[in-house]
Every structure is written in C-alpha cells, then in structure tokens.
Amino acid sequence: MIRTPLCELLGIEYPIVQGGMAWVGTAELVAAVSNAGGLGTAGGGNASPEEVAREVRLVRGLTDKPFGLNIPLAISEYADEIVGLCIEEGVEIVVIGAWRPGNHIARLKEAGITVMSVVSSVALAKRLERQGVDVLIAEGMESGGHIGDVATMPLIPQVVDAVGVPVVAAGGIADGRGLVAALALGAQGIQMGTRFICTTECTVHENYKQAIIKAKDRSTMTTGHSLGHPVRALRNPMVHEFEELERRGVTEQEIIEFGTGKLKLAAIGGDVINGSVMAGQIAGMVNDIVPVKELIERIVAEAEEIIGQLQGVVS
C-alpha cells in the first residue's frame, strides 16, 4: 500500500491528484477521482462565482470524499469573490495557481482551508511556503496547459530541498513508473492532467481524447512565449498559426484575441484542428481510455511492483 503523509493531510487513500483543468476537469471526473481514493480538483478557470458555486455543488452531489477547487488567481477576474465563495461554501481544499497571491492565502487559511499551490520554480515555492501554503505542486515544463521553464526531473528535488511542506510532482507522469520516480525524487505524491483526460468519466469531447491517444512523444509544442505565459498543446493548424503570429510580431492584443476560447473550442466543440488541444509530452504514452478507478488502481499496483523489483537492485 503506497501511502505518504500527504494522504493523511488531504484525507485521501492514494497520493494521486487530478490537476485542475479548465473546461476539461468537470464534476464527473473530479468526483470519480475522489471516489477512487485520489484527490479530484475542479478547474475554476475564468468562470464566474455563480458557475464555480454550481460546479462545487455538482461535485458534492457525486462524492462525499475530499476534493479540491483550482482557482487560477493570476488570471481569474473574480479571484476575490471566488475566495469568498470557497469560505461560504465550506470548500476544504483550494489549489491556487498564482505568482501574486495577494492576501488570498491568509483569508483562506483563516477559514481553515487547506491551500495548495502550483509552482514552477524554487523561488516561487519558497515565497508561497512563507505565505502559508500547505502543499506545493511542483509542475515541470513537460505538462499540458500553462507551463514554466524547468523540467520535472530537475525541478522536484530542488523544490523538495528548498521547502519543508509536502511537494507533489506534476508534469510528464502517467503510470506507476512515474509515481515511483516522483517518490524517489522526494515528492509525496503525483498530480496528473493529460492521463486523466483519457478516462471514461472525463466529459471532454471524444475527438480530444482520440487526439491524445494518437499523439507521439514529439506531438506537443509550446506557444505564447511572447506573452510570457507559454502553453503546451498538441501540434495542429491552430498552434502553428499562433506560432506564426508570434513570429510576425503582431500586437499582444491580436495574439490574445486569437487565443481566446480555443481550449473550449477543442474540449467542448471537438474542433481539434482550430482549437487548442492542451496536453503534455506524456500524451505519447497514453494509449487507452479507462475508468478512473481502474487507472488509479493500475498505477498503484504497478508502482508497488516496481518498488518490490528495485529491492533486488541493491546487493
């Protein structure tokens, strides 16, 4: 049985977190992960407080297990209201994605909420620990969605060495080998995004899932560097056009307008040509669509087997 202190802290059975994913990590997926013993996380994206409240209630209707709510503080225009809503609704775990958290962490902590934060550097990890974050999710640049510029392998041990709070490893993990590697690097658990998209309970459009299934190791690329917020997605005509706009040096406003709504177009509309199919480099290793419970149990069983085999390496 793979258990770490993170399991006690979050009230979960397995140290496996489903990362918040705007438009993709809907209530069905979140509840399925929590019901299977992991931690599901609802993706707030830039949704309004009313939409977020509805999502929280939907998840509550599907599970009585702990789950998290992801608030991208840096981009959400409703950050203040959503923090208030978490407090009113009694949300137990909030995952913030922020480089300027303001006084939000203090407000959440005063309300007794466990605060987790996604970080992509040692400096940010240290700053957020000082501000009272309970768990840091160190996310490498292999990840799908918005990324930093350090890869998972060097990032995890450096963050682990720099902070005292539990660290969860994210980026490029999809199976038991990844879980064992993350634990070996000093993390107390893993967060996956891309792998959880290809599950029965994920409500994303079937075309999105099939695009990930077809992907190979080099199928993703990054855009948005000119905006300072790079994003990793599967290569398709949309990202090539995005790249071309950046190369031509069009205005920031034009690039933002071009990119707006593209994830929704792929995730809900199923347009994987003109939409943004955000996914990580691990997409090349995702080859099936399985129920969440089966996936989590498979990862844990595989990790236990590997740990057993590794004993034999030591003579």
- 31 contacts 196 by C-beta, under 8 angstroms: no
Token pair recorded at residue 104: 């939000």
**Eight-state DSSP code of residue 19:** P
- 246 contacts 255 by C-beta, under 8 angstroms: yes
Instruction: Give Cβ neighbours of residue 302 (< 8 Å, ≥ 6 apart).
Output: 175, 176, 177, 179
Residue whose CB is less far from ligand FMN, 86 or 118:
118
Residue whose CB is less far from ligand FMN, 18 or 250:
18
Residue whose CB is less far from ligand FMN, 37 or 148:
148
Q: How far is the CB of 142 from ligand FMN (least distance, A)?
A: 5
- 142 contacts 282 by C-beta, under 8 angstroms: yes
Q: How far is the CB of 311 from ligand FMN (least distance, A)?
A: 28
- 204 contacts 265 by C-beta, under 8 angstroms: no
- 208 contacts 270 by C-beta, under 8 angstroms: yes
Q: How far is the CB of 312 from ligand FMN (least distance, A)?
A: 29
Q: How far is the CB of 294 from ligand FMN (least distance, A)?
A: 18
Residues that bind ligand FMN (CB under 6 A): 19-22, 24, 43, 45, 70, 72, 97, 118, 139, 142-145, 170-173, 191-195, 278-280, 282
Residue whose CB is less far from ligand FMN, 192 or 303:
192
Residue whose CB is less far from ligand FMN, 79 or 279:
279
Q: By Cβ distance, which residue is nearest to ligand FMN?
A: 193
Strand order across the beta sheet in which 220-223 lies? 145-146, 231-234, 220-223
Residue whose CB is less far from ligand FMN, 220 or 313:
220
Residue whose CB is less far from ligand FMN, 19 or 224:
19
- b/e per residue 13-30 (b: at least 16 CB within 10 A): bbbbbbbbbbbbbbbbbb
Q: How far is the CB of 253 from ligand FMN (least distance, A)?
A: 22
Q: How far is the CB of 70 from ligand FMN (least distance, A)?
A: 5
Q: How far is the CB of 314 from ligand FMN (least distance, A)?
A: 30
**Eight-state DSSP code of residue 234:** E
- Given phi > 0 = left and psi -120 to 50 = alpha, else beta, which region is 21? beta
Q: Count Cβ atoms below 10 Å from residue 59 Cβ, excluding itself.
A: 23
Amino acid at 157: P
Residue whose CB is less far from ligand FMN, 37 or 40:
40
Per-state percent for the chain, helix, strand, coil, to nearest 5: 45, 15, 40
Q: How far is the CB of 205 from ligand FMN (least distance, A)?
A: 12
